[in-house]
Amino acid sequence: MRDNLSAWPAPAKINRFLHITGRRPDGYHTLQTAFQFVEPMDELTFSVTSHSAIERTGGVADLLPTQDLVVKAAALLRAQAGITEGVSIHLKKRIPIGGGLGGGSSNAATTLVALNQLWECRLSATELATLALQLGADVPVFVYGLAAWADGVGEALTPIAMDEPWLLMANPGVNVQTAGVFHDSKLTRNTAELTIRAVGDEGMRNDCEPVVRRLYPKIAAVLDELDRVGTAKLTGTGGCVFAEFPSQSAAEAAQRQLSQDLDTWVCRAKNRSPLLDRLAIEGINNWGVAKR
């Protein structure tokens, strides 16, 4: 049995904005967004085995293997690389489920990146990202580990150096059904496309927020509460929300003004994923970047 040296990180993400720019004939929506990495962070540990089984412990209870992105990622990589070994994976879950923070996608990406090393597959970042896209549109950004501007259905990535504000995050504890938001008749689907230079300009918003506010009153209430201390934004389709601040002390001061019953935390938006630091432990310091 071959074990990893330490746990592999799977960070959460936020969407600094999310614009829906159209809808394709196949029903998928085109969008523009910008991803950054945030806390909390899941952790995965891996033990390579001589038998062929892919096993996952921890994480979400009662999740079927056919729905488990960690298991699906491992199986996809093994088939692609012709690996005969199996693996036992333990997932320590901290990222809220259904919160718009990309936890499942991040777990899948970390599984691909870690097993690429442990199984000695020797695939490049670009090759892994191509596999990752089969698991979900936002999995590749976690594979590359760099803040990115996304176009298309979220798969066309361009690395971008954004400001890294301190964030006051809040989890309303609501599991948003993404499909319901995107199929809602009142969702804005014609936002004009922007250039990357426009990042940071006023008017950057989340087009899903009005729909989520209407469908999920508890999330609307948390958005309103954060609006008392800053400018609240929804990440992804929610339900987690955040407000940006210039310093840790400012974010913490705002946090003290909120209800103690609300699940909140302070962290910083990052342009570099901790997954890249974990790769450095393995001697990988030249991991690829996303290409248009």
What residues act catalytically? 13, 138
> Residue 242 carries which side chain, given as an amino acid letter?
F
E strand segments, the chain: 2-3, 8-23, 29-49, 54-58, 86-92, 148-151, 156-159, 166-171, 232-234, 241-245, 263-268
Looking at beta carbons, which pairs linking 63-70 to residues 24 or more positions away fall under 8 Å? 69/104, 69/105, 69/107, 69/108, 69/111, 69/135, 69/136, 69/139, 70/44, 70/107, 70/108, 70/111
| Phi, psi for 112 (deg, rounded to 5) | -60, -45
